[in-house]
A and B are shown apart, each in its own frame.
Chain A
Amino acid sequence: MLTYLRKRILSSALPLVVVIVGVFALARLTGNPATLYLPLNATEQMRADFTARMGLDQPLLVQMADYFGGVLRLDFGESLRTGESAAAMALRAFPATLQLAATTMVLAIILAVIVGCWAALKPNGVADRISSFVSMAAASIPDFWLAIVGIWIFAITLGWLPTSGVNGSEAWVLPIATLLLRPFGVLVQIVRGAMVSALSEPYIKLARSKGAGDVRIVTHHALRNAAAPALTVAGDLTVGLVNGAVVVETIFGWPGIGKLMIDSILQRDFAVLQAAVLLTAVAIFVLNILIDLGYALLDARVRPATVKA
């Protein structure tokens, strides 16, 4: 298992370097931030001073070497906009996104498994049709629309929930409900499909013939085999959320990494952008390893040989 992990880490190092270089280069292609940060009537001299102060007058390779040196010392530089350490800003925003993503995915998976299994027990039955309609709708509704309508109904009309913000458990309901719907819709379809095919396998017939009830068949036999495709899709969906739920973060004033990245792109705040992207890339890389380990737990066939040792 350790060998496997070591291999995975080594093979992921290259993509990380590509990400670092890519973000560095692309950010600088968007132009000099001096115009954004200085008053519009700034003189040429003031622009030159600014560029020199920020080290942006150095050749690109020198800047990149500085940046890499910094990354190795875990020093990502300072934000042009706030003057704070870029790493601190990224590290502050990331847990907010992670909490949102984790809660959303746990709830989405639980709900999708329940609804998906229920629908798969009687394909084309009433439950199946209802769940199919609901899940298709859930997967197709645009989140910005849902968020605004949610605020209008639950915060303004009914007054049950706050419009936005992060204080108190009520404030979590609307952002999570908004984020939850799409992964839930997609996962219901996947779980249902996988369960329908698992339930038609010969070993299920055998289990039934031995007198096992629906619940035991679903939980002990079929679900385990249907879990792998669901895990793949759930993994992808989680990666999407960890990247930052920009729309939800913007509307609900959620101080997450997605909003931070968008703001730092618009504000040409290179240091913050680089720190945020690198942190997200590392998180996604860890997440992918966890998903792979999840496979290994579910299915002996993909377990590396060394596990047995």
Chain B
Amino acid sequence: MMSSLRTQGQFALRLSAVAAGGTLLLSGCSVANSESAGGATAASSDTIRVVLQQEPPTLEPCEANLTSTGVVDRSTITEPLIERNPTSGELEPKLATEWESKDNKAWTLTLREGVKFHDGSDFTAEDAAATIERAVNSKLGCNVEGYVFGDQDLDVKAVNDTTLQVTAQEADPILPLRLSFLEVVPAETSDTEKVREPIGTGPYQLEQWDAGQKITLARFDGYWGEKPAYAKAEYQWRAESSVRAAMITSGEADIATGLSPEDNIGDLGVSYPNNETVALRMHSDTAPFNDIRIRQAVNYAIDKEGIVASLYGGRDKVAAQLVPSGVVGHNESLQAWPFDLEKAKQLVAEAKADGVDTSAQIDMVVRSAQFPKIEELGQVLQEQLTQAGLNVKLQMLETSQHLTYQVRPFAKSDGALMLMTQHGNQAGDAAFTVDQYMRTDGAQSAFGTPELDALIKKADAATGEDRQKAFEEVFSYQNDKVVQFAHIAHQTGMIGKAAGVNYQPNSSTGDELRLAEMTPAS
């Protein structure tokens, strides 16, 4: 008995020792290398807490056209010379107060005085010039360079402290719009290496980046503009949208990006038109798409109203072109193709009678997880096109593989290629769409016609009302004579917003989340 008692005591002792070991492991309770151990930040009225879909790979300002970087940088840490109002589409002054050109080639910009960088130095034309040199003319390989300027270099000159001269190689009526993509950095910023932690002129400055965990920003006291409401901002990231939504419901975050209605957060979810358009692109190099009647049949066979109503809760809008209203060049008079299965079948039958191999396999290439319910959308489309008498095979691919079919040179597929594309025109001018998607040699264009190319060239060079009209013509010509696309819908995005915050998302929210526009609800 005695011995048994003793052993029991020993056993308990050992157990507690092992348990202690366990708690020791637990006791750190902050992930290794985390400098900011301690409890989760409590809700506090002077900190705005944002949860993003992913950690920004970098905060390098010359990559801010990438959503994951720009969402933190743009108009928060860094600012452009000129800014596009996402609602009106108008260009508005930011670090430049005026801009003008007599020939659309040489542009003169007047810069704002009294602007300071986060390091305390003054912003001058030298900085603006260096920013353009660095992003557009250097060997840095900035993403914004290819995205906005292509191969074109710009000639830049700081005339005096507040005057900047920018000259394009050819007349470029939308140069100011292109410049709105460049986030201004101090002239001392390295032009041989990218910077992960930028210095800007924005209302917030980077305070700390705990890699893998969170980014903290602090209000910049020397900001030239209106002082933002929140003293601090904290970004975290979660890959799962249901977790981001849960963080809003549980009060762990104030703003969550990239939600969808399936996340079920009721009134805390705020939808907004996000400028993204979904369409199918048809490659005309092989049967059956080498016959325009088949491409028309595809358009008739898709029940766009039904798709929007059943898959997207009626929030998205049926599309008739690649850009939504609000983008310069959007053709208001274009009507979406009506859903008419009989007409589709008839067109397929006519083509077949003329010797087109309508039974040829069509590979519909779709990117997994590109947007909510894309898998279901792919299946619905496959079914509807099969009804029309076409032989469609659905292929769900990951991003990198999908890209090999999306941009030139296109990867080879077994059958005729049909690619689902999601296009967002964040610049607000149709040139950014049609140059890529409709020109014969456009990076994302399967084919074109010389007539369409001529129309595009004319539109690219036009200004003002002529420009609007010229692009309208481009869109209607594609629908009548080319039919490379079957447009499906203009999409809507959704953010989660805690009741304690005032903020109205707009079409640019996904790319540029302006913290300065957020205020506490009182």
**Interfacial residues, chain A to chain B (CB-CB below 8 A):** 30-31, 33, 35-43, 45-46, 49-50, 53, 81-84, 89, 92-93, 95-96, 98-99, 102-103, 106-107, 110, 148, 151-152, 155-156, 159, 162-172, 212-213, 215-216, 219-220, 250-255, 259, 266, 268
Contact = CB atoms under 8 A, between A and B. Distances in A.
B60 interface: yes
B31 A99 contact: yes
Contact of B31 (A40, A42, A50, A95): A95
A302 B464 CA distance: 86
Q: Of residues A148, A155, A163, which shows the largest number of chain B Cβ atoms within 10 Å of its Cβ?
A: A163
A176 to B, nearest CB: 8
A209 to B, nearest CB: 15
Contacts of A35: 400, 403-404, 407
Contact of B40 (A30, A167, A254): A167
A255 B213 contact: yes
A216 B3 contact: yes
Given A41-B436, A168-B38, A102 B246 contact: no
4 closest Cβ pairs, A-B complex? A255-B212, A95-B32, A39-B147, A169-B29
A245 to B, nearest CB: 13
Interface in B141-185: 141, 143, 146-147, 150-151
B355 interface: no
Contacts of B8: 213, 215
Q: Of residues B65, B193, B443, which shows the largest number of chain A Cβ atoms within 10 Å of its Cβ?
A: B443
B120 interface: no
B196 A83 contact: yes
Q: Of residues B247, B436, B444, which shows the largest number of chain A Cβ atoms within 10 Å of its Cβ?
A: B247
A251 B212 contact: no
A96 B151 contact: no
B342 interface: no
11 contacts: A35-B407, A41-B444, A46-B141, A82-B196, A155-B250, A166-B30, A167-B38, A169-B27, A213-B7, A213-B8, A251-B238
| Chain A interface helix/strand/loop/mixed | helix
Contacts of A167: 30, 34, 36-41, 213
Contact of B141 (A49, A152, A215, A255): A49
A82 B31 contact: no
A96 B212 contact: yes
Interface string B28-56: 11111110111111000000000000000
B212 A92 contact: yes
Nearest to A161: B250
A57 to B, nearest CB: 14
Contacts of B239: 250-251, 253, 259
A247 B283 CA distance: 38
B236 interface: yes
Nearest to B26: A103
B400 A255 contact: no
A163 B436 contact: no
Contacts of A156: 246, 249-250
Given A45-B151, A83-B60, A31 B404 contact: yes
B194 interface: yes
Given A39-B147, A81-B57, A95-B31, A253 B19 contact: no
Interface in B1-36: 3-4, 7-8, 11, 14-15, 18-19, 21-22, 25-34, 36
Contacts of B19: 110
Contact of A255 (B31, B151, B252): B31
Contacts of A95: 31-33
